[in-house]
Structure 1
Amino acid sequence: MNRASIVALLLISVLVGCSSLQFNDPLKAFEEANHGYRQAISWSEFMVAATFLKNEDEAQVEEQIKLLDNYKVTAYELRTMTVVEEYVRVRQVVKISYFRKDDLVVKSMADDQLWEYNPELRTWQLTTGLPKLR
């Protein structure tokens, strides 16, 4: 086997192994959900970020997204992360830097997040809502 074939085989093995882990390891699933949420917020894709919310009033979320669409996120940094109840809850604090599109003054806020694992859906959901940018 040449080197390229070995590398391709190893890459496929890692991807297959990791994809099966997400169903057996809730903390691995948290990393993936948290990564997706972080990317959505970092790109100011608040509609995408809302898909990670647990049991939110749809009308309220739509109203909040309208308000958030006036903002642009410039940074999303993890400050602290604590596993509150293993495989069930994770609390984290992130620093979000942002500006209002018509103001251009960069502000920062601490967003205290509580995530809960849903074993039926085998996914993590954010219980504390979208960030409150002001």
Structure 2
Amino acid sequence: MRRIATLCVLAGFVLLAGCATDQRNTTLTATLNAYGSTVRWGDFASAEQFVDPKVREAHPLTPIELSRFKQYRVSDYDDGQGPVPTGENEAQQVVRIGIVNLNTQAERTLVDKQTWHYDPKAKHWWLTSGLPDLTTAR
């Protein structure tokens, strides 16, 4: 009888862990979709809200960086195969972003290597790699 009770308790823990993982994955998908939509519309001020608050505090955007984001229009956002888990609470995603310089109308592409971290207490995914670096566009 004890073995059955023990097995039932263990099965319950496995199911709860599976539910937590499903919730974390669902939250990641929703976060990546929202972030991708925000970047597609070129709203980098709003996209900054996806960046981990600790990263934002340590590396605030300068007025020059903000004006640089306003100088470009996003023409493409290709998240390829989507996120790849790199740990229990971490995922990485490589995105190709097409941008057009509004002054010269020159189009370039940059590769944005995103690292996302899940905060289990807040049940929220945060971008820890920061916003795309427009200076790397080719």
TM bracket, shorter-chain basis: 0.7 to 0.9
Q: Which residue of 2 aligns with 1:52?
A: 50
Q: Which residue of 2 aligns with 1:33?
A: 31
The alignment's TM-score, normalised by the length of structure 2, stands at 0.74
Separation of aligned partners in 2, 1:44 and 1:28 = 25
2:93 aligned counterpart, secondary structure: strand
Structure 1: gaps (5+ residues):
1-20
Q: Which residue of 1 aligns with 2:108?
A: 107
Give the letter for the 1:57 counterpart. E
Q: Which residue of 1 aligns with 2:99?
A: 98
The correspondence of residues 63-78 of structure 1 with structure 2, limited to 5 A, is: 63=63, 64-78=65-79
Give the letter for the 1:51 counterpart. Q
Q: CA shift at 1:133, angstroms?
A: 1.0
Separation of aligned partners in 2, 1:43 and 1:58 = 26
Give the letter for the 2:122 counterpart. L
Separation of aligned partners in 2, 1:72 and 1:133 = 11
Give the letter for the 2:29 counterpart. E
Give the letter for the 2:93 counterpart. Q
Structure 2: gaps (5+ residues):
1-18
Separation of aligned partners in 2, 1:123 and 1:72 = 28
What is the alpha-carbon root mean square deviation over aligned residues?
2.2
1:121 aligned counterpart, secondary structure: coil
Kindly name which structure, 1 or 2, has the bigger radius of gyration based on alpha carbons: 2
Change in Cα spacing, 1:69 to 1:58, as seen in structure 2 (3 Å) is farther
How many aligned positions are there?
Answer: 113
**Paired-residue identity, %:** 22
Change in Cα spacing, 1:61 to 1:89, as seen in structure 2 (3 Å) is same
Q: Does 1:118 align with 2:116?
A: no
| Deviation beyond 3 Å, 4+ runs, structure 1 | none
The alignment's TM-score, normalised by the length of structure 1, stands at 0.76
